[in-house]
Amino acid sequence: MQQVAVAAALLTVVACKPPPDDRTSLSADAAERGKAVIERVSCGSCHAIPGIDWPRGGAAPSLEDFDDVGLIAGALPNTPGNLAAFVRDAPAAKPGSTMPPMPITAAEAEDVAAYLYGMNDE
Amino acid sequence: MNKGAASGIMEALWGWPPPVFDPAGPYASSVTTLAWVLLALGVAVTGIVIAALYVAIKGPERWRKKLGGEKAVWIGGIAFPAVVLTGLLIWGLALTASLTEPIRGREARVRVTGEMWWFRVEYLDPAGRVIVRDANELHLPLDRPVVLELRSADVVHSIWIPHLSGKMDMVPGRINQLRVEASRTGRFGGVCAEYCGGPHALMGFVTQVHEAADYDRWLAARAARQAQPVAAGATPGRPGAVVRDPAEPQRYDPALGWTLFRDTGCAACHRIAGTEANGLAGPDLTHVGSRLSLGAGILPNHRGTMIGWIADSQSIKPGNRMPSYDRLSAEELGHIAAFLEAQK
């Protein structure tokens, strides 16, 4: 009986593991490219983002400690795939989102996600 | 959506070759040539001084005597500087005169007024009447000289487009003239080059050079839009300019954005031709949807930056004269941005 309980407890732990596209696959190169995209598009017009000195707009949530946030925009599990989809076309990824679609490609969106995850890796 | 580079300021000051060494027109070329000559002379004089110092300390007795003699002072101390500096003075004055030469005939005329902290841009017809009002960007025809009529509305500013010409101050109560001409098409950044208060470092603009025929068409289209009579009721914008994103069906409504724009008081400072919005304190927004930058050459122009600027411009450009409209909801900001995007 006890064994079953332990196994059940283990199963819950296993179920909580991050999805297969986990964060370790994100490269430093991608993060570097992502930073350039963030600067070009000026995500900072609305968000304060670590590593981006200017602008640090206050219209939308700060992205400090973003990699520790559980849900993107309070709705989507915080995975690289979801994040890339969200930063490119937020209203499609989360209907009702007030963040507008961004003029970036899907590949650029993945780089932006890599940057947003990599920024607090100390 | 405009996918252009973020910042006219970065375009003016950054890159390789550095913009000051990369002239894109005859006026900038003459300034760059003078700069190279000054550098070469400076290097030569420094070399001569170092050589003389070496001779004075370690050289043979005979040379040291010569160097300390009266003749050396007459030649090296008086004749050489007098000749070189007089030559440079004449060159410099002639160059400045060519940059500031008044209108002779076929030049395009644009009045640029420095404001805290943006550039008001007005295109003039040959009689000097304003035909197009714009802000923070300058459109130029290829290979045709353009005379900028420079004014200031408040404090001293200075306009500098390193690729196209020298710097020229914009002084209150005075009209200065500066000639610019581009011999290649493209986009060139510009900045305010005289400290003018708080957000001075965020006061830039963008220059776009068009083929001459394209420029004429562009100017004629803009002049026609600006001359549009005031129509009550209708949502302003060029007919057919309102393109809705199919992925986002009708979510943001330009017509509602126009109502919000009017009711929020935007029109007190901003003009949109053909509407009752006729405020002149801030930049004219008749063509804001096709603007190459937002916030005076500092942000790219797309839905996101437009919303961010309206909602909280004080975080982006602290001290600028537009308040942060944080009392508008995200939905309302979306409607206003959709409306402004349609103002091409």
User: In angstroms, rounded to a whole number, what is the distance separating the alpha carbons of residues A80 and A26?
Assistant: 9
| pLDDT tens figures, B120-172 | 999 999 889 999 999 999 999 999 999 999 999 999 999 999 999 999 999 99
Q: Would you say B9 and B204 are in contact if contact means Cβ atoms under 8 Å apart?
A: yes
Please enumerate residues of A whose Cβ is less than 8 A from a Cβ of B: 39-46, 55-60, 89, 91-92, 98-103
Q: Would you say B9 and B137 are in contact if contact means Cβ atoms under 8 Å apart?
A: no
pLDDT attached to residue B119: 97
Task: Please give the distance of CA B118 from its chain centroid, rounded to a whole number.
Answer: 9
Residue of chain A whose Cα is closest to the Cα of B338: A100
- pLDDT above 50: residue B1: no
pLDDT attached to residue B24: 95
Cα distances (Å, whole numbers) of residue A111 to A37, A64, A84, B216: 8, 18, 8, 41
Q: Which of B10-14, B119-123, B241-245 has the lowest mean pLDDT?
A: B241-245
Interchain CB distance below 8 Å, A92 and B303: no
Residue of chain A whose Cα is closest to the Cα of B317: A55
Token code pair at residue B137 = 């960007």
Check residue B182 and report its DSSP letter: B
**Choice between B135 and B251, residue whose per-residue pLDDT is larger:** B135
A57: which chain B residues are within 8 Å (Cβ-Cβ)?
Answer: 308, 311-312, 315-316
Residue of B291, B298, B314, B316 to mutate when probing chain A, most A C-beta within 10 A? B316
Q: Would you say B209 and B140 are in contact if contact means Cβ atoms under 8 Å apart?
A: yes
Check residue B149 and report its DSSP letter: E
Q: Would you say A79 and A19 are in contact if contact means Cβ atoms under 8 Å apart?
A: yes
Contacts of B132 (CB under 8 A, 6+ apart): B122, B123, B219, B222, B223, B226
Please, which pLDDT band fits residue A41 given cuts at 50, 70 and 90?
A: very high
* Mode of pairing for the β-strands spanning B137-141 and B204-210: parallel
Token code pair at residue A96 = 């009702």
pLDDT attached to residue A9: 54
- pLDDT above 90: residue B207: yes
Tell me whether residue B244 is exposed, middle or buried, using C-beta atoms within 10 angstroms of its C-beta: 0 to 12, 13 to 18, 19 or more. Answer: middle
3-state secondary structure of B211: coil
Owner of token pair 């961010």:
B308
- pLDDT above 60: residue A7: no
Cis geometry, peptide bond prior to residue B91 (ω within 30 degrees of 0): no
Interchain CB distance below 8 Å, A59 and B307: yes
Q: Which of B239-248, B284-293, B326-335 has the lowest mean pLDDT?
A: B239-248
A37: which chain B residues are within 8 Å (Cβ-Cβ)?
Answer: none
To the question of domain A22-118 being in CATH 2.30.42.10, the answer is no
Task: Please give the distance of CA B58 from its chain centroid, rounded to a whole number.
Answer: 54
ipTM value: 0.81
Check residue B74 and report its DSSP letter: I
A88: which chain B residues are within 8 Å (Cβ-Cβ)?
Answer: none
Owner of token pair 């776009």:
B208
CB atoms within 10 A of CB A69: 14
The minimum CA-CA distance between B286 and chain A, rounded to whole Å, is 23
| pLDDT tens figures, B253-308 | 899 999 999 999 999 999 999 998 999 999 999 999 999 999 999 999 999 999 99
For chain A, what is the HEC assignment?
A: CHHHHHHHHHHHHHHCCCCCCCHHHCCHHHHHHHHHHHHHHCHHHCCCCCCCCCCCCCCCCCCCCHHHCCEECCCEECCHHHHHHHHHCHHHHCCCCCCCCCCCCHHHHHHHHHHHHHCCCC
pLDDT attached to residue A65: 81
- Going from N- to C-terminal start, the domains of chain A cover 22-118
pLDDT attached to residue B46: 96
- pLDDT above 70: residue A8: no
Contacts of B315 (CB under 8 A, 6+ apart): A55, A56, A57, A58, A59, B324
